[in-house]
């Protein structure tokens, strides 16, 4: 699954921002919204060039800590039934082990050129450390059940559903060198809730809608 571009939620107004990974390397980027397939007709698709890239200043390319960046689109996007915003997880949000998240993208798969989606369980930090070693509080893991992300999905969203509202909990960051969607091996994401203050410092008007997520489950 590849990255599915999403504008960050505003309570009103500005829809010019989206999140991606910190290791983004190109200075010339086009963002596509409302796209369903990589080939053929996409009647609901709109595109925007990127006027500004803001990488997290503490991104570590070796450990993937702080693997997050902001993209400012060249102009606002009109919201439709096919191009919708997503809320962002607020500081201190909890995503317990075993709770369900969803990931989307066009990364490496064997099922064609249509946007893919799958549900994945959130994995506890303790269990994830058994695969990757040391992790930081800026990371969250999900997957491990023969479903997950793959090469080409970096920067894509990990979202959870709170009643009727979707909340972005993570930004796809890293996968195991053993391959994609392996049993008992989760994928790693930047934990969006850790970056509320940083995002607000850079988006100073019509700021994103941050929503607190909690869970009665143990773990995480």
Domains of the chain: 1-212 (2.40.10.10)
pLDDT in tens, the chain (220 residues): 433 333 343 333 357 888 887 877 666 889 999 999 988 899 999 999 999 999 999 999 999 999 999 999 999 999 999 998 899 999 999 999 999 999 998 888 765 688 899 999 999 999 999 999 989 999 999 998 888 898 888 999 999 999 999 999 999 999 998 888 888 899 999 999 999 999 999 998 888 899 999 864 333 4
Q: Which residues pair with 86 in a beta bridge?
A: 8
Question: Is pTM beyond 0.95 here?
Answer: no
- Taking the C-alpha atoms of residue 21 and residue 70, their distance in angstroms, rounded to an integer, is 8
Return the number of other C-beta atoms located less than 10 Å from residue 74's C-beta.
13
- Taking the C-alpha atoms of residue 103 and residue 172, their distance in angstroms, rounded to an integer, is 9
CB-based contacts of 19: which residues, under 8 Å, 6+ apart? 6, 8, 68, 69, 70, 71, 155, 157, 168, 171, 192
pLDDT value, residue 3: 37
Q: Residue 28 burial (CB < 10 Å; 0-12/13-18/19+)? A: exposed
């Amino acid at each position: 699954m590849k990255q599915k571009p999403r504008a960050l939620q505003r309570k009103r107004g500005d829809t010019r921002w989206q999140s991606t990974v910190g290791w983004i390397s190109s200075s010339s980027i086009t963002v596509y919204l409302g796209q369903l397939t990589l080939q053929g007709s996409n009647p609901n698709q709109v595109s925007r060039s990127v006027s500004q890239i803001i990488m997290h200043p503490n991104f570590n390319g070796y450990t993937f800590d702080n693997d997050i960046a902001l993209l400012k689109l060249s102009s606002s996007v009109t919201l439709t039934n096919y191009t919708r915003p997503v809320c962002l997880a607020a500081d201190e949000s909890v995503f317990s082990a075993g709770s369900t998240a969803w990931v989307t993208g066009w990364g490496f798969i064997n099922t064609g050129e249509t946007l893919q989606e799958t549900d994945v369980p959130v994995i506890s930090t303790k269990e994830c450390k058994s695969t990757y070693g040391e992790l930081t509080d800026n990371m969250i893991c999900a997957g491990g059940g023969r479903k997950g992300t793959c090469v080409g999905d970096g920067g894509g969203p990990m979202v959870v559903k709170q009643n009727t509202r979707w909340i972005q909990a993570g930004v796809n960051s890293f996968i195991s060198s053993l391959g994609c969607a392996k049993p008992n091996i989760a994928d790693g994401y930047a934990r969006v809730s850790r970056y509320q203050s940083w995002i607000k410092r850079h988006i100073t008007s019509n700021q994103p809608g941050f929503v607190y997520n909690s869970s009665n489950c143990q773990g995480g």
